[in-house]
Amino acid sequence: MNTPPVKLGLLGMAAILTVLSSVGAMASSKGDDRSVEVKMFAPKSGDDVGLGGRGWFVDLAISYDHPLAATGFTDFQLTGPGVHNNVAPFPGTFSAGADDRLPGLIVLVDTTIVGAKSCQNIANLFNLTGVTDIKDDSTELWDTWLVGAPNFGVNTVSNILVAVAADLNGDGIFNDAPAAIPDANADGVCDKRDLKAYGIASNIEKARFFINP
């Protein structure tokens, strides 16, 4: 019995949709749904930043297609080193690692000279975190860091990568950034491939810039 061409076409389309659905489910399970968007205002590629390796900014806006509760945001912060660390009116801890106020954020600088170096998440060094827009099903947060010490090289070219970690534990909250990214391919440098291997829910913002002497 011959199957009519129209039916064959429908069967083929159904098979294609099944495959696409399967691929989509696999991507979602790895956190690749891209429901978060990162924009980096500073540094920009080609910039010559700071003086003596310090006094430069990383300035971000992070938009979520999710309500505030899902972003992982725990509170406002206005923090920094020394006497500014974790004090009122907007306390937040200040150290390398995942940020206590925005625990899904991953920030890597390949010239980092502390901790795990290029694999070290330095999001917890951000000074200023706040809420810039809230809707029922979306949130925008801004996050800013004034680099106060030459821990990322002096008189050197540097590269920065910024992303938001996927919801890896499935609790519905973007709070799964690590203290350091695993070097997935063991090449001694953490880059976009390692971020993707870890699992991210956002685009990867990047810039190549020069840190002034």
Q: Pick the closest to residue 181 from 196, 160, 168 (CA basis).
A: 196
Asked whether the beta carbons of 59 and 41 are under 8 A apart, the reply is: yes
Q: Omega into 67 within 30° of 0, i.e. cis? A: no
pLDDT of residue 83: 56
Interatomic CA distance for residues 65 and 70, integer angstroms: 9
- When pLDDT is cut at 50, 70 and 90, the band that residue 34 belongs to is confident
Q: Pick the closest to residue 113 from 60, 80, 153 (CA basis).
A: 153
Res 43 pLDDT > 70: yes
pLDDT of residue 28: 37
Per residue in 136-161, pLDDT (tens digit) is: 999 999 999 999 999 999 999 999 99
Interatomic CA distance for residues 69 and 88, integer angstroms: 23
Interatomic CA distance for residues 155 and 53, integer angstroms: 7
pLDDT of residue 133: 98
Structure tokens, 118 = 């290029």
Interatomic CA distance for residues 195 and 198, integer angstroms: 5
Asked whether the beta carbons of 95 and 79 are under 8 A apart, the reply is: no
- The DSSP-derived string for 137-195 is S-EEEEEEEE--S-TT-SSEEEEEEEEEB--TTSSSSS----SB---TT-SS---HHHH
Per residue in 193-205, pLDDT (tens digit) is: 999 999 999 999 9
Q: Considering only 23-32, 101-110, 201-210, which range has the smallest mean pLDDT?
A: 23-32
Across the beta sheet with 105-109, what order do the strands follow? 48-49, 205-211, 156-164, 105-109
Res 90 pLDDT > 80: no
The percent of residues in the chain predicted with pLDDT above 90, rounded, is 76
